[in-house]
């Protein structure tokens, strides 16, 4: 009886022990291929690691492709991610070799990442490692510039069409003139009349003609008028404004090369009216480690450290600015409307210095509200009701104007 229960207990403990062993010693085969894990891992990777790592490319840190086979063990990877300096300090050979290879750049410690999080990140890295190379597509920002190039190619077509019509008109006129001359030659004309018919068309005779004077006066007047109108319309319009900033912060490096999500820094877009400029604390998440810039060396980054130490906020120069009478809300456009930053701000991720891309006039707001369809799938119940009411009036695809996007009170206090 006693013996029996003993063996039952020992069986139980062996089971627990084996179970614990399999949980603790995960190896490369255990990396999940579950799409849910991969996509969770992708998000974590983008948020925490992408500033320094790519899967297939060396950046601040090594390319992480195949790291689960290269590093001593999965558990080693876990402890390294949790606290790399502790692993290095412990005298671990692999870690120290890597550390000196990367000029003693310290990796951020991610103590808040749980083991399953790290397994998800590894699932993502493995999926990316095994992905076949796809032909690189040009990395144009979504919607960036397409509208402008579309409208300018439109203009080109119109211009070419007009030139063709003009040339055809000239040819027809030439035929008419020679036909008239031949007709007049058959008539009985006085010498004087014959001279007029055959008078050569010279530059001088054209310049002196009334028609020519009229055309010149007309063109000069039209250009002058256009200039005045353009001047009037651009009062207070600051398209292209790109002031020098107190720190040479580059979106091309951070949002372009490092692919840091806009919302990581401009946290306001998700909830607030304002997009907000990041505080120095957000910069310090990385710049307590990264102290050298590729073009500016230590100088510019030192200003961040200085602002952090002294607590004096960095005085960024504001670029986009609506007059007080207008109300604009980021979260409404980005979260509810699903409008990309680049649609309004242009290809920010290619700019070393931010410049104002759009006009930011009332006409610009209204124009988009007239053209843009509402995404009715997001808030289906609400829009179903609206569609029901509107369908009586025959409005099918919902534009922003159909939900009141042209009402003065929506944009003006
Ligand atoms: C501030 C930059 C930085 C960030 C952020 C960062 N790393 Fe690193 N990582 C490095 C550097 C640099 C090394 C090379 C070792 C060293 O210098 O400490 C490294 C090494 C590694 C290694 C070992 C690579 C090898 O070849 O064995 C792994 C694994 C790793 N990082 C994973 C991650 C993961 C996962 C994240 C995100 C959770 C992350 N790192 C975020 C800079 C960074
Ligand atoms: C690493 C942090 C960071 C990231 C990532 C980032 N920004 Fe910025 N952004 C800033 C800082 C700092 C400023 C103020 C300095 C300047 O204008 O360059 C700024 C300024 C701007 C401005 C001009 C603000 C004004 O004064 O009117 C716009 C617009 C902008 N960012 C859009 C974006 C977009 C779009 C993205 C993503 C493609 C992005 N940012 C990614 C930090 C960031
Ligand atoms: C997620 C990480 C991360 C954040 C957040 C971040 N940076 Fe950086 N920054 C980097 C890295 C990495 C480099 C170096 C890039 C390289 O060497 O190619 C860098 C480079 C720079 C440089 C040097 C540019 C040059 O051309 O030499 C400046 C200046 C800079 N950052 C300013 C800022 C400011 C200001 C903020 C906060 C608004 C900020 N950074 C936030 C990662 C970050
Ligand atoms: C529908 C057009 C539109 C979209 C989409 C949009 N913005 Fe803006 N943004 C504006 C306008 C207009 C202003 C000026 C607002 C003001 O002066 O009140 C502005 C101002 C800003 C500013 C500086 C002032 C502030 O609000 O803090 C930043 C930073 C900014 N935008 C970043 C972003 C980012 C990042 C995204 C994408 C996540 C984005 N914007 C999407 C139109 C837009
Ligand atoms: C690129 C297109 C675009 C531009 C430019 C734009 N908007 Fe919008 N706006 C939208 C979309 C899309 C919505 C609908 C969001 C939703 O689904 O509720 C919207 C909704 C709104 C609403 C809420 C309307 C309502 O009845 O609920 C206001 C207010 C508004 N925009 C103000 C502005 C102002 C002010 C500007 C100019 C400074 C502007 N918008 C520029 C696309 C744009
Ligand atoms: C979609 C948003 C929107 C709607 C709807 C809208 N406005 Fe505006 N309005 C603006 C913005 C943005 C400005 C600031 C433009 C600028 O600074 O050039 C403005 C400027 C003005 C101005 C100042 C004059 C000027 O051009 O700077 C007047 C007056 C005005 N609006 C009247 C109206 C009236 C009346 C209506 C209703 C018929 C209306 N607005 C509807 C966005 C809107």
- Least distant ligand from the CA of 287: 3
**176 is a domain residue:** yes
**171 is a domain residue:** yes
- Least distant ligand from the CA of 319: 2
Domain residues for the domain of 28 are 2-130
Same domain, 102 and 219: no
Same domain, 119 and 159: no
Q: What is the pLDDT of residue 389?
A: 60
Give the C-alpha separation, 46 to 41, whole Å: 8
pTM of the model: 0.65
Q: What is the pLDDT of residue 380?
A: 59
Strand partners of residue 297: 293
Same domain, 125 and 155: no
Same domain, 55 and 171: no
**251 is a domain residue:** no
Same domain, 103 and 217: no
Ligand 1 nearest-atom number relative to CA 60:
12
CB of 264 closer than 6 angstroms to any ligand 2 atom:
yes
Same domain, 123 and 160: no
Q: Which of 208, 233, 258 is the last residue of a domain?
A: 233
Same domain, 114 and 167: no
CB of 50 closer than 6 angstroms to any ligand 1 atom:
no
Same domain, 106 and 176: no
**374 is a domain residue:** no
Q: Count of domains in the chain? A: 2
Say how many Å lie between the CA of residue 275 and the centre of ligand 6: 21
- Least distant ligand from the CA of 109: 1
**206 is a domain residue:** yes
Q: What is the CATH number of the domain that holds 7?
A: 1.10.760.10
Angle at 277 between CA 275 and CA 282, to 5 degrees: 120
pLDDT values of the chain reduced to their tens digit, one per residue, 413 residues? 444 444 555 554 444 444 444 444 556 678 889 999 999 999 999 888 887 888 988 877 899 999 999 999 999 999 999 999 899 999 999 999 999 888 777 888 888 899 999 999 999 999 998 887 654 444 433 333 334 444 455 667 888 899 999 999 999 999 998 888 888 888 777 888 777 777 776 777 777 778 888 888 888 888 887 777 666 555 556 777 888 899 999 999 999 998 899 999 999 998 889 999 999 999 998 898 888 888 888 889 999 999 999 999 999 999 999 988 999 999 999 988 889 999 999 999 999 999 999 989 999 999 999 988 887 666 656 666 666 665 555 455 678 888 888 999 999 97
Burial 195-234 (b: 16+ CB within 10 A, else e): eeeeeeeeeeeeeeeeeeeeeeeeeeeeeeeeeeeeeeee
**252 is a domain residue:** no
Nearest CA to ligand 1 atom 14: 61
Ligand 5 nearest-atom number relative to CA 410:
29
Choosing from 279, 301, 317 the residue with most ligand 3 atoms within 8 A of its CB, the one to mutate for a pocket test is: 301
Nearest CA to ligand 4 atom 36: 341
Say how many Å lie between the CA of residue 105 and the centre of ligand 1: 9
Same domain, 34 and 114: yes
**405 is a domain residue:** no
Same domain, 115 and 10: yes
**93 is a domain residue:** yes
CB of 242 closer than 6 angstroms to any ligand 5 atom:
no
- Least distant ligand from the CA of 374: 5
Same domain, 14 and 115: yes
Instruction: Sort residue 142 into left (φ over 0), alpha (ψ -120 to 50) or beta.
Output: beta
Q: Which of 62, 96, 130 is the last residue of a domain?
A: 130
């Amino acid at each position: 009886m006693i013996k029996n229960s003993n063996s039952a207990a020992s069986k139980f403990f062996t089971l627990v022990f084996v179970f614990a062993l399999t949980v603790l010693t995960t190896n490369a085969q255990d990396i999940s291929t579950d799409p849910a894990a991969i996509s969770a891992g992708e998000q974590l990777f983008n948020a925490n690691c992408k500033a320094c790592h790519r899967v297939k490319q060396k950046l601040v840190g090594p390319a992480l492709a195949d790291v689960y086979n290269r590093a001593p063990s999965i558990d080693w990877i876990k402890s390294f991610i949790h606290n790399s300096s502790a692993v290095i300090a412990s005298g671990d050979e692999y870690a120290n070799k890597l550390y000196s290879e990367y000029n003693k750049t310290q990796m951020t410690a991610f103590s808040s990442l749980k083991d399953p999080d790290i397994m998800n990140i590894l699932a993502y890295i493995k999926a990316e490692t095994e992905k076949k190379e796809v032909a690189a597509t040009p990395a144009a920002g979504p919607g960036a510039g397409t509208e402008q190039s579309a409208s300018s190619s439109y203009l080109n077509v119109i211009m070419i069409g007009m030139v063709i019509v003009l040339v055809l008109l000239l040819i027809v006129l030439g035929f008419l003139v020679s036909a008239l001359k031949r007709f007049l030659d058959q008539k009985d004309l006085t010498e004087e009349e014959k001279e007029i018919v055959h008078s050569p068309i010279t530059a001088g005779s054209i310049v002196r003609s009334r028609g020519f004077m009229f055309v010149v006066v007309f063109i000069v007047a039209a250009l002058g008028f256009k200039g005045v109108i353009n001047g009037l319309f651009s009062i207070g319009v600051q398209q292209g404004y790109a002031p020098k900033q107190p720190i040479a912060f580059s979106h091309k490096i951070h949002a372009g090369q490092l692919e840091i999500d806009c919302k990581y820094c401009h946290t306001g877009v998700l909830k607030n009216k304002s997009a907000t400029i990041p505080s120095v604390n957000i910069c310090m998440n990385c710049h307590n480690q990264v102290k050298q810039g590729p073009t500016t060396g230590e100088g510019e980054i030192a200003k961040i450290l200085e602002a952090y130490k002294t607590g004096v906020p960095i005085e960024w120069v504001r670029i986009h600015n609506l007059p007080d009478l207008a109300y604009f809300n980021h979260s409404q456009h980005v979260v509810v409307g699903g409008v990309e930053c680049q649609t309004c701000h242009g290809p920010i991720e290619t700019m070393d210095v931010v410049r104002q891309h759009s006009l930011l006039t009332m006409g610009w707001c209204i124009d988009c509200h007239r053209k843009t369809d509402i995404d009715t799938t997001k808030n289906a119940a609400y829009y179903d009701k609206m569609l029901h009411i509107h369908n009586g009036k025959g409005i099918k695809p919902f534009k922003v104007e159909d939900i009141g996007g042209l009402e003065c009170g929506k944009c003006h206090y």
